[in-house]
């Protein structure tokens, strides 16, 4: 794998594998992510994209291989371990609490408290103010931050999930189909937000089926097929046709982890 002179590696994945029973989800996954870089991961359904994200974010362990974050070998026992190190994830299934409002969902596990007469109580005003700021930055209108998630539209719930990476994504952001539930206008705002975030000392891994969106915002592309990396490409050195060929198997590499 070719290096990037002058750029620091923040995430290194070495030989990561994962099986579910007799089904091999990932096999010997190896790649590096550099600082201030947006990398797209693509592949057909079942290629292993979401499994890879869930391993990096601490949802479940790999069967083999190692992951290094800023040079330190990591083994997260839970997503909260990853969040403590500055890794924020937005999943395709959103992972939100439908019986809570937007404020509670964005601050869940990170509540702000204040001391009043010796007692620690929630600083609701500060949390509400920050939630409004975050959702305004996402750019998707929500009628009220006090409305329970179950009464919001799919796009509005997605906005709250995306608000987490705006509020808490400090070093690495993992996005699994972040525009799946959004309309054209909302998608445009989110793509601009991702590009803007990627310029602020935050690296991003983006999973998407939309090649047009991916080519607009990423720096490099990793292609998975049947749980293996079949190509790593600099965006400026490839085309959508080549990426489709790698996804479908029409383009075959003798060295699966080749990067150029």
Q: What is the pTM of this model?
A: 0.83
Beta-carbon count within 10 A of 103 CB: 22
More confident call, 89 vs 158: 89
To the nearest whole number, what is the mean pLDDT of the chain?
A: 87
56, 119, 52, 65: which is closest to 85 by C-alpha? 56
pLDDT, position 47: 93
pLDDT, position 6: 56
Separation between Cα atoms, residue 205 and residue 82, nearest integer Å: 15
Percentage of the chain lying above the pLDDT 90 cut: 51
Separation between Cα atoms, residue 39 and residue 42, nearest integer Å: 10
Q: Which residues pair with 231 in a beta bridge?
A: 223
Note the pLDDT tens digit of each residue in 28-55.
999 999 999 999 999 999 899 999 999 9
pLDDT, position 215: 95
Q: What is the mean pLDDT of residues 18-25?
A: 94
The confidence band for 2, taking pLDDT boundaries of 50, 70 and 90, is: very low
Q: What is the mean pLDDT of residues 120-134?
A: 91
Percentage of the chain lying above the pLDDT 70 cut: 93
Is residue 129 scored above 70 in pLDDT? yes
Is residue 72 scored above 50 in pLDDT? yes
Note the pLDDT tens digit of each residue in 204-260.
999 988 999 999 999 999 999 999 999 999 999 999 999 999 999 887 654 444 444
Is residue 115 scored above 50 in pLDDT? yes
If you ran DSSP here, which 8-state letter would residue 235 be given?
G
pLDDT, position 253: 55
CB 42 within 8 A of CB 49: yes
Is residue 4 scored above 60 in pLDDT? no
H or E stretch at 129: helix 124-138
CA 151 from centroid of its chain's CA atoms: 25
Q: What is the mean pLDDT of residues 182-200?
A: 83
Q: What is the mean pLDDT of residues 69-87?
A: 90
CB 62 within 8 A of CB 17: yes
The confidence band for 164, taking pLDDT boundaries of 50, 70 and 90, is: confident
More confident call, 54 vs 181: 54
């Amino acid at each position: 794998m070719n290096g990037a002179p002058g750029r620091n590696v923040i995430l290194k994945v070495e030989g990561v594998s994962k099986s579910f029973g007799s089904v091999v989800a990932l096999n010997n996954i190896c790649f590096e992510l550099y600082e201030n870089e947006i990398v797209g991961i693509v592949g057909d359904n079942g290629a292993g994209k979401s499994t890879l994200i869930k391993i990096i974010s601490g949802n479940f362990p790999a069967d083999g291989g190692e992951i290094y974050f800023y040079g330190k070998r990591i083994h997260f026992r839970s997503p909260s371990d990853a969040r403590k190190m500055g890794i924020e994830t937005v999943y395709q299934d959103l992972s939100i609490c439908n019986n809570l409002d937007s404020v509670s969902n964005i601050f869940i596990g990170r509540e702000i408290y204040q001391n009043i007469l010796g007692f620690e109580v929630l600083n609701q005003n500060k949390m509400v103010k920050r939630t409004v700021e975050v959702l305004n930055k996402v750019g998707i209108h929500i009628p009220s931050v006090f409305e329970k998630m179950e009464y919001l539209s799919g796009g509005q719930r997605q906005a709250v999930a995306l608000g987490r990476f705006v509020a808490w994504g400090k070093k690495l952001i993992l996005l699994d189909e972040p525009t799946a539930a959004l309309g054209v206008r909302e998608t445009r705002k989110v793509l601009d937000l991702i590009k803007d975030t990627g310029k602020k000392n935050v690296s991003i891994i983006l999973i998407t089926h939309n090649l047009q969106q991916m080519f607009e915002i990423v720096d490099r592309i990793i292609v998975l097929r049947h749980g293996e990396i079949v190509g790593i490409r600099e965006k400026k050195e490839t085309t959508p046709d080549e990426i489709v060929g790698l996804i479908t198997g029409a383009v075959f590499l003798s060295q699966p982890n080749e990067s150029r």
